[in-house]
Amino acid sequence: MKLKTFLVVFILISFASCKTNTHLYKIEGQKISITDTLLSVAEIEAFVKPYRDYINKDLDSVLAYAVDTYSKSDGELNTAIGNFMADMVYEQANPVFKSRTGHDIDFVLINHGGIRSILSKGNVTTRTAFNLMPFENSIVVAKLNGSQIKDLLNYLAEAKRAHPISKLQITLDKNGKIAETSIKGKPIDFNSEYYVATNDFLYNGGDGMTFFKSDNNETVLDYKIRNALIDYFKKVDTISPVRDNRFIQIKD
């Protein structure tokens, strides 16, 4: 013990006596891949196990039931799972937004790429929500003017992708041009302003949706889409979304 103490004191004195102009001249790194070849440590596994079991039990708790399997590739301009996601955002976010501002959300637009898995037939769990939405995206409500709404509509018409929307209806003619639009069943008034729920990724210009950014007010709800999903699953028994006519193109 005395020898160890002497060595520690000697090392400290040696460092203390070094010149103060010592500087770092090289940094080296090595990539260590985490693969099945890495052996587990029994002591660490035993320590982690009760926490892992607790988390898995929570993630696998059944919240609802899906009557079919739904994929974001099941439609050209709107899909059942996309419609479900957008409608869910409206239902969960609108009461929060209205309680804070006194206004209703007019419509919802989120991104097709944000849906990261299928919704499988059968039990819907907390893990389902994490699979669908593994990102930390939060709901933001932006106030858009008529010019921005036109840009939004043109973006969707040109993209021809099933970006999920709710309370907004778009009909394209056979040439892919906008033929008819409405919000909550009423023609759009381009002299008015509308409250649009989206996520923070799109609000900040993600997927090229630059029309969201402006000097107008936005409301950050501090409500993650994944948490909204979990809350929605908890209050419904059955998930059975469908494709509809909210975004279609006339073929003849």
Per-residue confidence in pLDDT tens, the chain, 252 aa: 444 444 444 444 444 455 556 677 788 888 877 787 777 787 777 777 776 766 776 678 899 999 999 999 999 999 999 999 999 999 999 999 999 999 999 999 999 999 999 999 999 999 999 999 999 999 999 999 999 999 999 999 999 999 999 999 999 999 999 999 999 999 999 999 999 999 999 999 999 999 998 766 889 999 999 999 999 999 999 999 999 999 999 987
Q: How many CB atoms lie within 10 A of CB 49?
A: 10
User: Which residue range forms the structural domain that includes residue 206?
Assistant: 62-249
Q: 178-183 and 186-187 as β-strands: parallel, antiparallel, unpaired?
A: antiparallel
90 located within any domain: yes
In-domain check, residue 57:
no
Q: Specify the CATH number for the domain of residue 172.
A: 3.90.780.10
- Report the domain count for the chain: 1
Q: Which of 222, 165, 223, 172 is nearest to 194 (CA)?
A: 165
The answer to the question of residue 126 being in a domain is yes
> Is 239 a member of any domain?
yes
Q: Note whether residue 138 is domain-resident.
A: yes
Would 42 be classed as within a structural domain?
no
Integer Cα distance of 126 and 230 in angstroms: 6
| Amino acid occupying residue 223 | Y
**Is 23 within the bounds of a domain?**
no
The answer to whether residue 219 is domain-embedded is: yes
